[in-house]
């Protein structure tokens, strides 16, 4: 929408996006070995940290509630 209205920052963003996709597409064959060298298979975040799934889920819920409360109190200030 910004590029359609002629905003230069949006036009620059779109040009960079297109250039980045083009460069990646052109160099993928050379980079494929490196890109897939770290394939760990079916490893979850819990496996990497060594904690059960419910601990990660509870932490995510707690962080979400904390962020919502922080935003509420921050935005209510005069």
Q: Which residues lie closer than 8 Å to 14 by C-beta, 6 or more apart?
A: 3
Quick one: CA torsion of 24, 29, 31, 32, rounded to 10 degrees? 110
Which is more confident, 35 or 67?
A: 67
pLDDT digits (tens, 9 = 90+) for 3-60: 788 788 988 999 999 999 999 999 999 999 888 888 777 888 899 899 999 999 999 9
What DSSP element (H or E) covers 8? Answer: helix 8-35
Q: What number of H helices and E strands is found in the chain?
A: 3, 0
- Mean pLDDT of the 53-78 span: 91
pLDDT at 78: 63
- What does pTM read for this prediction? 0.47
């Amino acid at each position: 929408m910004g590029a359609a209205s002629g905003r230069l920052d949006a036009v620059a963003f779109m040009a960079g996006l297109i250039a980045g996709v083009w460069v990646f597409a052109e160099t993928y064959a050379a980079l494929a070995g490196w890109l897939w060298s770290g394939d760990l298979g079916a490893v979850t975040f819990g496996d990497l940290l060594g904690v059960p799934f419910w601990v990660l889920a509870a932490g995510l819920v707690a962080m979400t509630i904390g962020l919502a409360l922080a935003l509420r109190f921050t935005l209510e200030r005069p």
